[in-house]
Structure 1
């Protein structure tokens, strides 16, 4: 990566859902860790409204009124950016505002595209997201940065203690209902698994479907339960598990599956790969920034119109329909070949450790900061000094 063309800014504010147990929350925390890794002072702040996801992660923040560095990175969604600008203190809107946006499909709806008027630049986390955002950006620059992938820290508990099947090759898929079940496509994972293994056999392969936020989506949960009920080797896992509990699930799995129709990044398979587990995923969208034929198993897919059942995504946009026959074949092969699983997992762990670290992500952010135009209004020397001290105090607590 080339060196920044000018000195970095004195520090940045980062607005995000730092306490949310979701991919958006993980992305926000990851950006702060990346900035810490390269020594950039950072002031994390919560937005005026929190997300509907469970807020269970402890994370120290400052009030928006004290986030007084000249550049603000917002990890809110595009459609949350307008309300943020309306509610933010003047020093946020007078400085430079960068949207670190995620979007999963190829096109933005018009009401989201209007958000480009509120920001000076947009940064995407994958090539897929960058292409999607650039289609609607107009004159707003759309850059790309790298995100780090956290290596899970399992506690070492066994499958039985986790409430998991104790025998057989264990396939695991995870999703949250707020992330849109049609896009995450657990139905496809279940269908492929049952196609691969039509009958439950003693010591045979097992599939665990871990969900979150099910209480807020009773109809979708009921549909998923009905889909799983005829298959005793498919298990639905509900209920809250903290980060350590999810890490233990990833460690207990032999194969982590994501037969998504579209993905901005895909933290679950990425973290599984960092842990050395085999990932099986649709060969489409944001996960291709870290998955390849050497470190994972990619399922071919056909890009198709989304249609009216894919709300909230534009019906006229496109996503992928994974080949379930190919996915089933891959599942059978992986279940029968532990040596191949081990080789893929080792390659995956090495790739993640080499290229998706906090430092690598931090360096990409520094380079993107250097490509920004100068901030139109700089805070006073006194305000910058106060921000520096506050950032240093917060960093000592992380």
Structure 2
């Protein structure tokens, strides 16, 4: 029997991201606790952490991608006094089953990176992929652990080929990570389909690599458009990060990203709702639906953006202005503060 030891700790944050290194034991008593855990994990905070929850007003901040709460969410929902979400889509998910508890859209902020410039970022992209400034670079980016079928790269590839059949200088970068650690047969099959498409189209390249956050932002900033033909998003980090870098966005007109994606800020792709099957995603409830974006419409939107450089500039500027007004750290802090003051006035 072969045995391999693996270091593990309950406090085991991902290597990338913005996790705090402050221990919960250092926190003092508070009238309100804001718990940034998804619903299925919320009971773990009560089980494994010191009891800072009894007699307090406890708020859970949830992300979820499907149109109904998973059955494993209900215990966490019961343990809380209030639920916060980042989008109106999140309100629609949780409010019907919240038993009258407040479900509040407080938004989500993005980070500004004024040191990430278009010129330096394009040079980074050109070096990495041996492109040059004559290439029109489209980017789709996702983590393979986030379920390949939800991120839907096959539709992106099909739409790209329809849109740019006569554009030899068009390029598509499919940026992912953790591909080699995905063994689910459905997802493996999707990657096989991706490989089959790109094998006959040298304009498409797959990048399976965990980049530093700065390099990921440079990859986005150096691209000419960012594409997300997702089937559902709880929020849509990739899209709002692209907007913050003034990169044009082409996306499915569905789910969490609709709080910041409009006809004025993005090229919106039509869709139809389809019912999920078991295995399409985690914790799937019977009757749950998500979007199936129309490939032909996606191709039209991609081509419309390509054919109109002025529209790309104007929509990118409009998107940047919109998210800066509504989703900057100061803007979201006002929403947090406003709701917290309302709660404190009632305690």
Partner of 2:181: 216
Bigger Cα displacement from structure 2, 335-344 vs 307-316? 307-316
Change (3 A) 1:301 1:61: same
Q: 1:119 and 1:80 mapped to 2: Cα distance?
A: 12
Contact 2:71 2:285 in 1 (8 A): no
Three-state SS of the structure 1 residue aligned to 2:33 is strand
Query: What are structure 2's unaligned runs of at least 5 residues?
Result: 1-8
Change (3 A) 1:282 1:242: same
Among 17, 25, 28, the alignment partner of 1:68 is 28
Among 55, 60, 64, the alignment partner of 2:15 is 55
Residue deviations 1:27-83 (CA, integer Å, cap 9, x gap): xxxxxxxxxxxxxxxxxxxx94435xx413465532111122412211111100111
Among 264, 275, 285, the alignment partner of 2:245 is 275
Shift of residue 133, structure 1, vs aligned partner: 1.0
Q: So what's the TM-score if we normalise by structure 1?
A: 0.76
Q: 1:284 and 1:316 mapped to 2: Cα distance?
A: 17
Partner of 2:143: 176
Q: 1:293 and 1:162 mapped to 2: Cα distance?
A: 33
Among 62, 65, 71, the alignment partner of 1:104 is 65
Shift of residue 229, structure 1, vs aligned partner: 2.4
Structure with more relative contact order (C-alpha pairs < 8 Å, separation 6 or more): 1
Q: 2:37 and 2:130 mapped to 1: Cα distance?
A: 35
In the TM superposition, structure 1's runs of 4+ consecutive aligned residues that sit over 4 Å from their partners are 57-60, 373-376
Three-state SS of the structure 1 residue aligned to 2:316 is helix
Among 316, 336, 341, the alignment partner of 1:365 is 336
Q: 1:161 and 1:218 mapped to 2: Cα distance?
A: 32
Among 115, 136, 157, the alignment partner of 2:97 is 136
Partner of 1:355: 326
Three-state SS of the structure 2 residue aligned to 1:151 is coil
Contact 1:255 1:279 in 2 (8 A): yes
Among 148, 157, 176, the alignment partner of 2:109 is 148
Bigger Cα displacement from structure 2, 340-349 vs 190-199? 190-199
Q: 1:328 and 1:151 mapped to 2: Cα distance?
A: 30
RMSD after superposition = 2.2
Three-state SS of the structure 2 residue aligned to 1:170 is strand
Q: So what's the TM-score if we normalise by structure 2?
A: 0.87
Contact 1:205 1:335 in 2 (8 A): no
Q: 1:225 and 1:50 mapped to 2: Cα distance?
A: 34
Partner of 2:303: 332
Partner of 1:254: 224
Shift of residue 372, structure 1, vs aligned partner: 2.7
Q: 1:164 and 1:128 mapped to 2: Cα distance?
A: 40
Shift of residue 279, structure 1, vs aligned partner: 0.4
Residue deviations 1:244-272 (CA, integer Å, cap 9, x gap): 10110111111100111111110111111
Among 127, 133, 150, the alignment partner of 2:88 is 127
| Structure 2 counterparts to residues 1-398 of structure 1, below 5 A | 48-50=10-12, 54-57=14-17, 60-70=20-30, 71-152=32-113, 153-154=115-116, 156-157=120-121, 158=123, 159-163=125-129, 165-166=131-132, 167-198=134-165, 201=168, 204-217=169-182, 220=187, 222-223=191-192, 224-312=194-282, 313-372=284-343
